[in-house]
């Protein structure tokens, strides 16, 4: 790793091709954890400062959604980034609505709802245009052509720059792309979640669509900082994730241990190897790790400078193939609610 890496501009990558190209930093910043899912964290002012520090360290791509918080995350991200708006790309998402009883949420991608969410997100973020507007989850009740058409109208109106999708299947992406070019797909992808390799990544390469992996560090598991004995806060959603069950976690530790051995040989951390591996897969892959701490931000950013040789990648591949990951990545109730 070169000295002073944190003072140098981060390399950039392009999501999408042609007129759909969107240039962003090689690593983005997933903002969800600042408002939910991972237990108590720093206060609002500390989060705002960290987001601004991320910009100073070269991060230009920030990911939020209307339902994070809910709503609080867009307000946080907007306040943090408005002073540096000309230097950043802001992505947010539509696709959910409250259930009739007001106690839960359900998918909703009706065109009128998409346009309402766009206006509300613009107001919360305090910006004039959403750089990348993802459909958060596919709505089986709305033809994807209607969804893409609604986003196309928002692009024509100047409220949105680029169309994205999240956790969508290959056939659905193809249909949407035929109506409005899709700039990026966001789905989970990491050393412990490799399902996108089967069908999604080849299709994205064919169509010229960028890939934005969320949870690139396996919800923290691939950092090497979580052990079998780690206790999560009561409101940390990993308490209900099957992959984090005590028995499953013990089995899955083998992947972390093998990655850690490779990291030691490279003079890097386990997290940096996991991120560098993702960056090495395709030049149009932009992971969005999240954090609430400056030391983790610097560590994550350092992965951009970790060079993995073909031999390194072959070793990582052999190590990862030797481990069978145990447990679903989401609990059944959440899968049903979000269409996963």
Residues that are catalytic? 68
Other Cβ atoms closer than 10 A to 240: 14
**Which one-letter DSSP state was computed for residue 48?**
H
Q: How many whole angstroms separate alpha carbon 217 and alpha carbon 269?
A: 12
Nearby residues of 194 by Cβ (< 8 Å), 6 or more positions away: 320
**Which one-letter DSSP state was computed for residue 79?**
H
How far apart, in Å, are the Cα atoms of 141 and each of 9, 170, 181? 44, 18, 21
For the sheet containing 160-166, what is the strand order?
29-30, 61-63, 89-94, 130-135, 160-166, 182-188, 210-214
Task: List beta partners, residue 15.
Answer: 22
Residue 285 phi/psi, 5-degree rounding, is -100, 130
Can you spell out the DSSP letters for 105-138?
A: EEE---HHHHHHHHHHHHHHHT-S-EEEEEESS-
Q: Are 268 and 237 in contact (CB under 8 A)?
A: no
Q: Are 30 and 214 in contact (CB under 8 A)?
A: yes
How far apart, in Å, are the Cα atoms of 116 and each of 13, 123, 294? 31, 11, 35
Other Cβ atoms closer than 10 A to 301: 23
**Which one-letter DSSP state was computed for residue 9?**
P
């Amino acid at each position: 790793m070169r000295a002073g890496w944190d003072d140098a501009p981060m390399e950039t990558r392009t999501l999408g091709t042609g007129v759909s190209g969107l240039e962003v930093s090689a690593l983005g910043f997933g903002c969800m954890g600042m408002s939910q899912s991972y237990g108590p964290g720093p206060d609002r002012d500390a989060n705002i400062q960290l987001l601004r520090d991320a910009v100073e360290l070269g991060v230009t791509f920030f990911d939020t959604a209307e339902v994070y918080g809910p709503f609080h995350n867009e307000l946080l991200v907007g306040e943090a980034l408005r002073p540096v708006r000309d230097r950043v790309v802001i992505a947010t998402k539509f696709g959910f609505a409250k259930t009739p009883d007001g106690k839960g949420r359900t998918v909703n991608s009706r065109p009128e709802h998409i346009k309402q969410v766009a206006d509300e997100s613009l107001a919360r973020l305090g910006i004039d245009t959403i750089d990348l507007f993802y459909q958060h989850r596919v709505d089986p009740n709305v033809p994807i052509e209607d969804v893409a058409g609604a986003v196309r109208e928002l692009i024509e109106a100047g409220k949105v720059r680029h169309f994205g999708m999240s956790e969508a299947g290959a056939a659905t992406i193809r249909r949407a792309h035929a109506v409005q070019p899709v700039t990026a797909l966001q789905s989970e992808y990491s050393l412990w979640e490799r399902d996108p390799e089967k069908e999604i990544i080849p299709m994205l390469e064919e169509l010229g669509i960028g890939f934005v992996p969320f949870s690139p560090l396996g919800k923290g598991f691939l950092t090497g900082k979580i052990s079998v004995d780690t206790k999560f806060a009561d409101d940390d959603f990993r308490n209900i994730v099957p992959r984090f069950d005590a028995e499953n976690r013990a089995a899955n530790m083998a992947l972390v241990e093998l990655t850690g051995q490779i990291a030691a040989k490279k003079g890097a951390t386990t997290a940096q190897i996991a991120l560098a591996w993702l960056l090495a897969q395709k030049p149009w892959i932009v992971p969005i790790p999240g954090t609430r701490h400056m030391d983790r931000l610097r560590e994550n950013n350092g992965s951009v400078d970790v060079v993995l040789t073909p031999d390194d990648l072959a070793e990582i591949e052999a190590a990862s193939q030797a481990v069978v990951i145990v447990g679903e990545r989401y609990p059944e109730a959440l899968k049903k609610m979000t269409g996963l």
